[in-house]
Amino acid sequence: MGDGSMRDASVVVALDADGLVALLSADFPAHGGEYLFLPGGRREHGESTLDCARRELREEAGVTARQWRQLGSHAITLTSQARVHIYEARDLTLGAQELTQTEQDFKLTWWPMAEALQVVHDGRFLLPAGPLPADPIPDLVKNSQFEISGLVKTGNDERERGTRRAAPLRIDGRRGDWTDIEALWLAGDLRDDDFEDRFIDDIIVADIGEGTDGWEFSGDSYAVELR
């Protein structure tokens, strides 16, 4: 554990019997395309950095290892004590990936070390496991009026909002309680599903109540405007 709000992370250099290194690839729109990266991520509560490395390698790459060696660790920022711990894994067994909903595009490939280092040199490598501290949610967001367009259901009332027949669902962010959302955001723990649940409970319900029987957002996509 780092400074109490940021958790340490582990990344894994997994080498097979031929000396090939396991790299994952995925599309990162914020960086303009597909990038390569090592298996890894933040450690869970009560987990050692080695346990974290074992779990991340198994989940993201579908790989288990019998031999482990810690290569070192490094800090990501000057403002957090959290560190990224780097492990080498050998004597590998391949299995199925255990990907979350947000990791479905993770593709596993094996690279000669020289070519992997060239990827780094070419700027096509990312280190997404780092415990980067997030900035607080801006007051502009928390104090906004939210207009949500898409399929919204409460009780038996289900309709497509933001159309000629039904106005967007309008929510006053100033009346919500952002405490838990911001705490998860700052800790790097705010996943999509968590945000949706928290936004419904802490922002929507705080502003306009429970509706007929709670609120459901089961559509494929939504548009949200801040005013």
pLDDT in tens, 131-172: 445 567 888 899 999 999 999 999 999 999 999 999 999 999
Can you tell me which residue has the tokens 């280092």? 117
- E strand or H helix that includes residue 35: strand 33-37
Confidence (pTM): 0.58
pLDDT at 135: 62
pLDDT at 129: 52
Closest Cα partner for 20 from 131, 115, 158? 115
CA dist 123 and 96 (Å) reads 29
pLDDT at 91: 98
Q: Output DSSP code: residue 144.
A: S
CA dist 38 and 59 (Å) reads 13
- What lies within 8 Å, CB to CB, of 170 at 6+ separation is 145, 146, 147, 148
Helix spans in 23-149 (H) = 49-56, 113-121, 139-142
CA dist 186 and 58 (Å) reads 27
For the chain, the structural domain boundaries read 9-121, 139-226
pLDDT at 83: 86
Token pair for 142? 């928390």
| Residues in the chain where the model's pLDDT stays below 50 | 1-5, 130-132
- Give yes or no for a contact between 22 and 61, defined as CB atoms under 8 angstroms apart: yes
Query: Homologous superfamily of 9-121 in CATH?
Result: Nucleoside Triphosphate Pyrophosphohydrolase (3.90.79.10)
